[in-house]
Chain A
Amino acid sequence: DVKVTQSSRYLVKRTGEKVFLECVQDMDHENMFWYRQDPGLGLRLIYFSYDVKMKEKGDIPEGYSVSREKKERFSLILESASTNQTSMYLCASSLPRTGGSGNTIYFGEGSWLTVV
């Protein structure tokens, strides 16, 4: 089974703190993603990575950065956390090709971040 692991499930941080959310996948997937999910807004892509050290901005990259130094690990960084970044953060991975199982997105269990 594909496993996407988000190491921090529940975090409470103060405004202005630097926050690291870590994600590891064990299926040698090229693609990795960071989403946030908020009521009424659905899943929104923050950043996408298609290879080591390669990244693309998603729909809402402002206030976030990412790091992918190893294929299996994709980190999301909040340089200076703000209250509007309180959300559930979902890491995901997939194969790069289309069709069949290549399109399946596998998600981690989510990281619930509260910024106070």
Chain B
Amino acid sequence: RKEVEQDPGPFNVPEGATVAFNCTYSNSASQSFFWYRQDCRKEPKLLMSVYSSGNEDGRFTAQLNRASQYISLLIRDSKLSDSATYLCVVNNAGNNRKLIWGLGTSLAVNP
């Protein structure tokens, strides 16, 4: 089993739709969790950290379920500009030495 698994997609949704991605991780001792966004042929950029209590940033909501070992990302009112690959990242150490990157979920928002 991979340490971090994501559905590669692609997810094709119309503008205005709500879409959700899940990411499962295998190490129950994982310490912190993140979603990064990567546009085609560009570098990844932090979208948001994922906290145990869940967190929201505008149209984006991230949640962590430690019991089931998954994190989720919900995007409401999708925009064309949300089209990208979303990378799930899990940190298994106290610093950033042991980051485990998912392969990403591809999202295409269509007009």
Contact = CB atoms under 8 A, between A and B. Distances in A.
Interface of A: 31, 33, 40-43, 45, 48, 50, 56, 90, 94, 96-99, 103-105, 107-110
A110 B42 contact: yes
Nearest to B49: A103
Contact of A104 (B41, B46, B87): B46
Nearest to A110: B43
Contacts of A96: 95-96
Nearest to A99: B32
Contacts of A50: 95, 97
B110 interface: no
A45 B46 CA distance: 17
B99 A98 contact: no
Interface stretch (B18-26, B53-61, B67-75, B101-109): B101-109
Given A110-B42, A110-B43, A103 B32 contact: yes
Nearest to A48: B97
A98 B43 contact: no
A91 B31 CA distance: 23
B95 A43 contact: no
A1 to B, nearest CB: 11
B31 A43 contact: no
B46 A105 contact: yes
Contacts of A40: 103
Interface string B26-60: 00000110101000011111100100000000000
A109 B40 CA distance: 12
A45 B93 CA distance: 15
Given A98-B32, A103-B91, 17 more contacts: A31-B95, A40-B103, A42-B87, A43-B44, A43-B87, A45-B99, A50-B97, A94-B96, A96-B96, A97-B95, A98-B94, A103-B34, A105-B44, A107-B43, A107-B44, A109-B43, A110-B43
A17 B31 CA distance: 41
B101 A98 contact: no
B89 to A, nearest CB: 8
